[in-house]
Chains A and B, each alone.
Chain A
Amino acid sequence: MTISNSTISTATAISRRSLPRRRPRRASIIGWLFTLPALIMYAAFVLIPLLLSVYYSFFKWDGIGPMTWVGMRNYITVFKVPDLIGTIFNAFRLVLWFSLFPVGLGLVIASLIHRVAPGRFGDLVRTVVFLPQVIPLVAAGIIWGWLLSLPGLVNQILRSIGLGAITRAWLGDFDWALPAVGIIGIWVLLGFCTVLLLTGISKIDPALYEAARIDGASWFDEFIHVTVPLLRQEIGVCLTVTVINALAAFDIVYVATGGGPGNSTAVPGIQIYILAFTEQQIGLASALAVMLMILVFVVILPIQRLTRETY
């Protein structure tokens, strides 16, 4: 979806803001020339659609016929209709699953691989954890649907270990559908975080770990006092990308539950899609999209601030 793409690229644009100034003028012009093709593409496919969305959000428009100016009415509708504003709360609940868990688990796995199994086994673990990134999400969504269904493998395992009482259709249960979607999210995003963080760890000066070990530091001490502080920037990138994935989620939710049951997993992305393409309410869909973008900014900017500060 354009929402997530544009928000990701704006977020990365923010993180690359402070470039050194005062270059020779000629080099600067050549530099601009080199970036021109990319800039044009960026403008055509990100900036202009973004501005257009803002523009559309003030109109009532079915996508084909004439447009009618309605001012802020679409925004008021978003706030007034509980099913629309409710999706934003669901998005925040997804942040826990799509962002905090993958980054937290990714940190632990990366540091374990680094300390315990740097060799073959580590490579194997890394590959396995990264594999979901390679599998097409739609196929994965269908398979997860089977696994989590009532006769599916997850419930078979639960039954075989005597937990038959808690079996349920996970994706069809009002209380469990969102966590179930969250677990699919962890499965998808964990590999990305792990690999990124592992790369970060490998750049940390080994002398620091050596010094820590000489001082008698345990794996946990090392993790808290060396790994995490020095991975600040990588953690920042992981958090940024995964939080955007959660707030602007569409694909994982769409293939897993389609927003159901009863809107319990409906996120803004799903609603925007239904409003724009099923209901042909381009204006209302754009208003929700614009609010989602603002929301992403509000959440991402502090993360960027916090993780960029240096000691």
Chain B
Amino acid sequence: MSTKRRWFSLLGVLVLFSLLLAACGAPATTAAPTATQAPVETKAPVAETSEAAPTTAPTEPPAPSVPNCGTEPVTLNAYFETGFDLPFKLAEEFSKQYPNVTWDIKQDQFTNLINSTPRLLSGDNPPDLIRLPTMVSFAKQGLLKDLDGYAAAFGWDKWPVPQLNQNRVAPDGTRGSGTLYAMGLNYSLTGIFYNKSLAAQIGMTEPPKTLAEFEDYLAKAKAAGLLPIMAWGSAKSGMGLAFPLQALMASVGPVEPINDWIFQKPGATIDTPSNLIAAQHLEQWIKNGYFPPDINAIEYTDANVRFTKGEGVFLFNGDWENWRYDKDMPGNVGFFLMPPAEEGKPPAAMSAPLTYGIAAKAKNPDCAAFFLNWVATNEKARAINVQYGGSNPGGPADLPLPPVPEGSITNQTLAAGAIIGKAGTAMDFIANATSSIFAQGWTPELQKMVAGKQDAAGLLKAVQAEYERELAEQ
């Protein structure tokens, strides 16, 4: 054997090993980022005059030490969600009012964002603003900016409590209290949309007041040969029956245990007696044929299209689809909150912030925080928010809601949102409890229920077991 040959094989081995080492070394050396600095310390140059911001409408003029975008050119590095115009419109308006701010906007589908966010946050070019699909794990990993300093500086902590607490994460990883890691661009609301002309056919002149009344209408719709509830349920879209199930849970039982479970409070369980009653209602609805027979194959967008074309009297969905219903069934769509099981009990609803966070290592955190504050307080921004988002823009309780065109469904959802806000019965979505409880728990188990392969008790037990498995592995 020649020396040359040996030399070559040695070289080959060396190349292999060096590559291997390089690849192995990468993750090991990326230590978790250290605790974030309190952001208020960073003093940005204060704009002398705000001639570019003629319509700023916070109740008090900002104190001189409040973080802002300065006067130097700033480029905000942002990741938005594809398919939703709102953040793009807001960014455009923001640059109009603050011409020194330009945007570098990347966008991706929500499902892709779920998978890519950890790498975006920990990467070399961490975003100043990013749509956060989930936040607990990122907060625990130190990838998100601690916003408590900004909350104090801008006075966010004086806003109605439910707005911020969904974005708070405690050191033990439970949500609902602790450090603020994100803000909502707006606060969406879910409930029941209905086709007015079909509702008239079954004699529904005004929204039901109780669950029993609602179920009565469902039975009437079925008897009239109509599809009572349009819904989606394919694994690709995620099982839409999670919406009516959660609505039923809050209708028959209290809201707090549901939120505790979503926020991963120690010992929280979804398998409670009142949730069992809720799941039994849903199982009965399925057995009664209140949902489309092909629900397990229906995609989210198809369900919406079929509803706007007149298939289904009711549809459980959120106000982010207001624009679609206004456009495709103008004047023919109504909205009401899921009625409570007992008359007089306040209604409850899923109401989640459209969550945006700032990367811990972001280059322009002050400007990003200023933007988040501007979105909730600037009159023009709030108008855009309602026009393109259809949801409540949040912000200080004493700011008036922007005007909405006459006849838009948004009037009804905003009014409903005020009721929920007053009652304090907002919930996050049960599909957001852990990062994959929807894909691994709710969706397959509810699909089984549709096929008669799972009952109400089994559903809650299976989801609870999956929840505990995921928490144990965290």
A64 touching B115 by the CB < 8 A rule?
no
A179 CB–B CB distance under 8 Å:
no
B4 within 8 A of A: yes
Which residues between 10 and 48 of chain B lie within 8 Å of chain A, taking CB atoms?
Answer: 12, 15-16, 19-20, 23-24, 27-28, 30-32
How far, in angstroms, from A277 to B118 measured CA to CA in the complex?
A: 9
Residues of B within 8 A of A266 (CB): 444
Given the known A-B contacts A65-B141, A174-B451, are A279 and B435 also in contact in the complex, defined by CB atoms under 8 Å?
yes
The answer to the question of B436 belonging to the interface, with a C-beta cut-off of 8 Å to chain A, is: yes
Contact string, A227-238, partner B, CB cutoff 8 A, digits 1/0?
000000000000
User: Could you say which residues of chain A place their CB within 8 Å of the CB of B8?
Assistant: 29, 32
Number of interface residues of B (CB under 8 A): 54
Main secondary structure of the interface of B (DSSP, over half): helix
Identify which of A39, A258, A261 contacts B450 (C-beta below 8 A): A261
Assuming A64-B32, A169-B293, is B451 touching A280 (CB within 8 A)?
no
Task: Name the one of A62, A77, A261, A280 contacting B447, with C-beta atoms under 8 angstroms.
Answer: A261
Minimum CB distance partner of A32 in chain B: B8
Q: A150 and B115: CB pair below 8 A?
A: no
Judge whether A208 is part of the interface by a CB distance below 8 angstroms: no
Residue from B27, B31, B296 in contact with A260 in the complex, judged by beta carbons closer than 8 Å: B296
Query: Which of B27, B233, B294 meets A168, CB within 8 Å?
Result: B294
Considering only residues 194-245 of chain A, those with a C-beta below 8 Å from chain B are none
The smallest C-beta distance from A302 to any residue of chain B, in angstroms, reads 30
> Within the complex, which residue of B115, B234, B445 is in contact with A258, where a contact is CB–CB below 8 Å?
B234
Query: How near does chain A come to B7, taking the closest CB pair, in angstroms?
Result: 10
In the bound complex, CA of A49 to CA of B23 (Å): 8
- The answer for the CA separation of A29 and B11 in the assembled complex, in Å, is 13
The docked-state distance in angstroms from the alpha carbon of A52 to that of B137 is: 23
Alpha-carbon distance between A281 and B469 when the two chains are bound, in angstroms: 12
Interface residues of B in 135-150 (CB under 8 A from A): 137, 141, 143
- Report the separation of the CA atoms of residues A150 and B236 in the bound assembly, to the nearest whole angstrom: 17
Complex Cα distance, B297 from A258, in Å, reads 11
Contact residue among B24, B118, B295 (Cβ-Cβ distance under 8 Å from A64): B118
CB pair B20 A48 closer than 8 Å: yes
B366 proximity list for chain A (CB < 8 A): none
A137 → chain B, closest Cβ, in Å?
14
Q: Looking across the interface, which residue of chain A has its beta carbon closest to that of B15?
A: A40
Say yes or no for B422: interface residue by CB 8 A criterion.
Answer: no
The reply to whether A257 and B293 contact each other, CB–CB distance below 8 Å, is no
1/0 per residue A40-54: CB within 8 Å of B? 100110011101100
Known: A278-B435, A281-B473. A262 touches B30 (CB 8 A): no
Q: Is A123 located at the chain interface by the 8 A CB criterion?
A: no
Contact between B297 and A28 (Cβ–Cβ < 8 Å)?
Answer: no
Q: Are A260 and B443 in contact (CB under 8 A)?
A: yes
Residues from chain B with Cβ under 8 Å of A98 in the complex: none
Nearest CB on B from A191, distance (A): 25
Contact at A277–B115, with CB atoms within 8 Å? yes
Contact with A along B292-303 (1 / 0, CB 8 A): 111111110010
Most buried by B among A81, A83, A261, A275: A261
Q: Which B residues are in CB contact (< 8 Å) with A257?
A: 234-236
Interface string of B156-193 (1 = CB under 8 A from A): 00000000000000000000000000000000000000
Number of interface residues of A (CB under 8 A): 53
Q: A150 — which chain B residues lie within 8 A by C-beta?
A: 292-294, 297
| A136 interfacial contact with B, CB 8 Å | no
Question: Which residues of A have CB within 8 Å of B450?
Answer: 261
**What's the least CB distance linking A253 to chain B, in Å?**
10
- Residues 127-146 of A, flagged 1 when their CB comes within 8 A of B and 0 if not, give 00000000000000000010
B7, closest chain A residue (CB): A29
Given contacts A29-B4, A172-B296, contact A67 B28 (CB under 8 A): yes
Contact with A along B91-123 (1 / 0, CB 8 A): 000000000000000000000001100110010
**Contact of B23 (CB < 8 Å), options: A48, A60, A65, A172:** A48
Closest-CB distance, A69 to chain B (whole angstroms)? 12
Residues of B within 8 A of A171 (CB): 234, 297
Contacts of A32 in B (CB 8 A): 8
One of A51, A148, A263, A280 near B118 (C-beta < 8 A):
A280
A267 to chain B, nearest CB (A): 12
Nearest chain A CB to B92's CB is how many angstroms away?
31
| B454-474 interface with A by 8 A CB criterion | 454, 469-470, 473
Q: State in angstroms the CA–CA spacing of A52 and B4 once bound together.
A: 31
Contact status B235-A261, CB under 8 Å:
yes
- Bound form: Cα–Cα A263–B302 in Å: 22
Question: Is B118's CB under 8 angstroms from A261's CB?
Answer: no
Within 8 A of B (CB), among A38-94: 39-40, 43-44, 47-49, 51-52, 55, 60-67, 77, 81, 83
- Determine the distance from Cα of A279 to Cα of B472 in the docked complex, in whole angstroms: 12
Residues of B near A278 (CB, < 8 A) are 114-115, 435-436, 439
Asked whether any CB of chain A lies closer than 8 Å to the CB of B2, the reply is: yes
Q: Which of A168, A174, A260, A274 contacts B236 (CB 8 A)?
A: A260
The proximity string for A residues 273-308 relative to B, scoring 1 for CB distances below 8 Å and 0 otherwise, is: 011011111001000000000000000000000000
Residues of B within 8 A of A28 (CB): 5
The complex places the Cα of A81 from the Cα of B115 at a distance, in Å, of: 23
| Contacting pair B294 A172 (CB below 8 A) | yes
Interface residue? B448 (CB, 8 A)? yes
Identify which of B8, B294, B302, B448 gathers the most chain A CB atoms within 10 Å of its CB: B294
Say how far A73's CB is from chain B's closest CB, in angstroms. 10
- Whether A97 is near chain B, meaning CB under 8 Å from some CB there, is no
Residues in chain B near residue A148, CB distance under 8 A: 297
User: Within 8 Å of chain A (Cβ to Cβ): is B287?
Assistant: no
Q: What is the bound-complex CA distance between A308 and B368, given in angstroms?
A: 64
Q: Which residues of the partner chain B approach A260 to less than 8 Å between Cβ atoms?
A: 234-236, 296, 443-444, 447
Bound CA–CA A258/B439 (angstroms): 10
Provide the residues of chain A in CB contact with B2, threshold 8 Å: 25
A81 contacts which chain B residues (CB < 8 A)?
A: 469
10 chain-A/chain-B pairs, Cβ below 8 angstroms: A36-B12, A64-B32, A65-B32, A169-B298, A257-B236, A259-B235, A261-B233, A262-B444, A262-B451, A279-B435
Interface residues of B (CB under 8 A from A): 2, 4-5, 8, 12, 15-16, 19-20, 23-24, 27-28, 30-32, 114-115, 118-119, 122, 137, 141, 143, 233-236, 292-299, 302, 434-436, 439-440, 443-445, 447-448, 450-451, 453-454, 469-470, 473
Give the top 6 A-B pairs by smallest Cβ distance, nearest first: A260-B235, A172-B297, A172-B296, A169-B294, A150-B294, A169-B297
Other CB < 8 Å A-B pairs besides A48-B20, A277-B115, A280-B137, 11 of them?
A43-B15, A60-B473, A62-B137, A63-B27, A67-B27, A77-B473, A172-B298, A257-B236, A262-B454, A277-B114, A279-B473
